[in-house]
Amino acid sequence: MIKNDLYLRALKGESVERPPVWMMRQAGRYLPEFIAIREKYDFFTRCRTPELASEITVQPIRRYGMDAAILFSDILVVPQAMNIEVEMKAGVGPWLPNPIRTQKDVDAVLVPDVNEELGYVMESIKVTKQMLNNEIPLIGFAGSPWTILCYCIQGQGSKNFDKAKEFCFTQPVAAHTLLQKITDTTIAYLKEKVKAGVNAVQIFDSWGGMLSPVDYQEFSWKYINQIIEALKEEAPVIAFGKGCWFALEEMAKSNASALGVDWTITPQMARKFTNNNITLQGNFDPSRLLSPPAIIKKMVTQMINDFGKDKYIVNLGHGILPNIPLDNAKAFIDAVKEYKS
């Protein structure tokens, strides 16, 4: 049994004494102990070495005592497993030397045996679970099919993912074939993660907000929903679409256990759009962690009051930034732990 099950209870919509708290990208670049590991090992070595991935996962828990850990990994290990070359370039970020541009390219993409290609992730989960010793739940994650497609077509990060959108709008058959291959791989991957020991899974649709509401339904949400349907009996599923407030009403009709929201919507509107019938997670602006600790604490308390303490998980509206002072991250977590309704 997990000793601190606040996060899991919030996902079930149960009444809690205070909401649980964790931060997206909490295992990472703002921590000096992470930077020390980063100086010795390249990015994908860290992802592929269970001892390193598990150590990085528990670093923020040791320091701040969040209510959930999220496995250190990357959404792009999925395309790597699908016969798509992905590098991490200094100063550039994700870099795909041979982006997908044609139906022939899509045909060459494999739906792999996830245990064979991504077994190292399952090993990382097992090592991490031992290190966590049932203190708190462990979250596994994957990118949404649309977000993965964005990188596969564009070949790198982008402000607008114009090439990805062009591919979808000019070669819709190829685009949907690729999206389905990514979806099938992601379902198999997340199911194995649950078997290996994660207590919940989160789908990150980082680039969903690039699409219009109509295109979002066609190229993103219907694939995310397939994943939710495939996993719903096995583990709680959290769907987070950055910039996707326009889809919250539709998303709330799904079997997701929770929906992540970013800072571009008020808590009141997020509750209204979702009819107050699903757990929400978010939505503190990560840049606001640059404010003085006293202001952070005040804003976090206000945010909890606005969302309500039940059916709510305190988080940022996106990943923590690398330049956040350690005391400011602590103020964010402490504000939640000290919360009294």
Q: Could you give all domains of the chain from N- to C-terminal order, each with its CATH number?
A: 6-337 (3.20.20.210)
pLDDT greater at residue 248 or residue 90: 248
Mean pLDDT of 304-322: 98
Contact 258, 12 (CB under 8 A): no
pLDDT category, 323, cuts 50, 70, 90?
A: very high
In percent, the amount of the chain with pLDDT more than 90 equals: 99
To the nearest 10 degrees (0 to 180), the angle between helices 293-307 and 326-337 is 40
pLDDT at 53: 98
Give residue-wise pLDDT tens across range 76-100: 999 999 999 999 998 899 999 999 9
DSSP reduced 3-state for 211: coil
Give residue-wise pLDDT tens across range 24-58: 999 999 999 999 999 999 999 999 999 999 999 99
Furthest-apart CA pair in the chain: how many Å? Answer: 58
Return the minimum-mean-pLDDT range out of 90-94, 138-142, 224-228, 246-250: 90-94
Mean pLDDT of 171-196: 98
Buried b (16+ CB within 10 A) or exposed e, 35-73: eebbeeeebeebbbbbebbbbbbbbbbebbebbbbbbbb
pLDDT category, 105, cuts 50, 70, 90?
A: very high
Q: Rounded to an integer, what distance in angstroms lies between the CA atom of residue 244 and that of residue 7?
A: 23
pLDDT at 130: 98
Mean pLDDT of 179-208: 98
Give residue-wise pLDDT tens across range 117-170: 999 999 999 999 999 999 999 999 999 999 999 999 999 999 999 999 999 999
User: Is 219 annotated as contributing to ligand binding?
Assistant: no
Q: Rounded to an integer, what distance in angstroms lies between the CA atom of residue 137 and that of residue 108?
A: 37
Contact 226, 187 (CB under 8 A): yes
Question: How high is the mean pLDDT of the chain?
Answer: 97
pLDDT category, 177, cuts 50, 70, 90?
A: very high
Please identify every residue annotated as catalytic: 25, 29, 38, 74, 151
Q: Rounded to an integer, what distance in angstroms lies between the CA atom of residue 85 and that of residue 340?
A: 49
Mean pLDDT of 204-220: 98
pLDDT at 117: 98
User: Is 291 annotated as contributing to ligand binding?
Assistant: no
In order, the DSSP letters of 248-316 are HHHHTTSS-SEEEE-TTS-HHHHHHHTTT-SEEEEEE-GGGGGS-HHHHHHHHHHHHHHH-SSSEEEEE
* Nearest-5° Cα angle at 95, 92 to 97: 135
User: Is 271 annotated as contributing to ligand binding?
Assistant: no
To the nearest 10 degrees (0 to 180), the angle between helices 145-154 and 222-231 is 130
User: Is 188 annotated as contributing to ligand binding?
Assistant: no
pLDDT at 90: 86
Q: Where are the alpha helices (DSSP H) in the chain?
A: 6-11, 32-38, 43-48, 50-64, 77-81, 103-107, 114-132, 145-154, 162-170, 172-196, 213-216, 222-231, 248-251, 267-273, 293-307, 326-337
User: Is 74 annotated as contributing to ligand binding?
Assistant: yes
pLDDT category, 341, cuts 50, 70, 90?
A: confident
Q: Rounded to an integer, what distance in angstroms lies between the CA atom of residue 305 and that of residue 14?
A: 17
